[in-house]
Structure 1
Amino acid sequence: MNAKHALLVDGLGACASVLLLGFVLPAMQPWIGMPTRILYLLAGIAALFAASSLSGYRFAGDHATRWLRAVMVANLLYCLLTCSLVALHLGELTAGGVAYFVGEAAVILGLVWAELQVLRRDQGSRGGPRSV
């Protein structure tokens, strides 16, 4: 996988988050516990991330690694926001809600790790610095 393909995977994952956070989970809110307005907020952020990653896939060209770095930082900030919102609303969340958000964070962190490996490999193949 190269940086451009990583952007595609990231964008498709963000689209899945939009569907889950914007449509599925609000319909299941009593079984999740997270307030609907928070689910819609997170879905909106995921929609912006999907647009960014898919735009990077389509238009970044030779700058895909730079674009991927920005996407990785955004993903980490999204995880931080999500964990903060889970902590803030922990009393309202059900076990299913906690499981969903922990799972979402685990998937995103796994994706960031995979993206980091892509960047390291791309940097190494170009003879550039290995630090990312």
Structure 2
Amino acid sequence: MMDRILKNPTKVFLIDAVGAFLTAITLGIVFTSVQEFIGMPKELLISLAIVASLFFIYSASCFFKPQKNWRTFLGVIATANLMYCLLTSFLIITYFDQLTIVGILYFVGEITLIVLLVYFEVFIIRKEDQHKKSQLENN
């Protein structure tokens, strides 16, 4: 899978879009209907779902309409993903007493997956930068 993505790095936007879509559905539909099993206030679940929906739109747009400077766009979503993780971490700390073990496990798991995705996104950007640098040196 890694080789396929490195051959067509804009595919990482698809991975990001699918993850954001699943997060938006999970937070905005599933968890709001069973909020008492999660513990996070419903308004915050909806707000996080809206953010995830915006990330979905952005990443899906970048995947279906790739740009020449895709590295910049990937850097933007990687930064946004990290900011989402910081926000979610802040909410975990703020609402820790209200969160259930299921809620804590979900949000910590989500942060872990997103951080891994960001690491992968940065890896792809750096790999492409190295490739472009070696092309310039060879010419």
How does the TM-score come out when normalised to structure 2?
Answer: 0.88
Partner of 1:23, secondary structure, is helix
Kept in 2, the 8 Å contact 1:60–1:67? The answer is no
Deviation at 1:17, TM superposition (A): 0.4
Kept in 2, the 8 Å contact 1:29–1:36? The answer is yes
Query: In terms of mean alpha carbon deviation, does 40-49 or 21-30 score higher?
Result: 21-30
Partner of 1:3, secondary structure, is coil
User: Cα deviation per residue 1:81-108 (whole Å; 9 max; x = unaligned)?
Assistant: 0110111111100111100000000000
Deviation at 1:73, TM superposition (A): 0.3
Deviation at 1:61, TM superposition (A): 2.1
Larger Rg computed on CA atoms:
2
Match for 1:70 among 76, 90, 101? Answer: 76
Q: Which amino acid aligns with 2:23?
A: S
Give the match for residue 53 of structure 2: 47
Q: Which amino acid aligns with 1:92?
A: Q
Structure with greater contact order relative to length (CA < 8 Å, sep ≥ 6): 1
Partner of 2:118, secondary structure, is helix
> How many pairs were matched up?
128
Match for 2:33 among 22, 27, 38? Answer: 27
Partner of 1:61, secondary structure, is coil
Match for 2:113 among 80, 100, 107? Answer: 107
Structure 2 gap ranges (5+): 135-139
Give the match for residue 17 of structure 1: 23
Deviation at 1:64, TM superposition (A): 1.0
Structure 1 gap ranges (5+): none
Q: Identity of aligned pairs, percent?
A: 34
Give the match for residue 5 of structure 1: 11
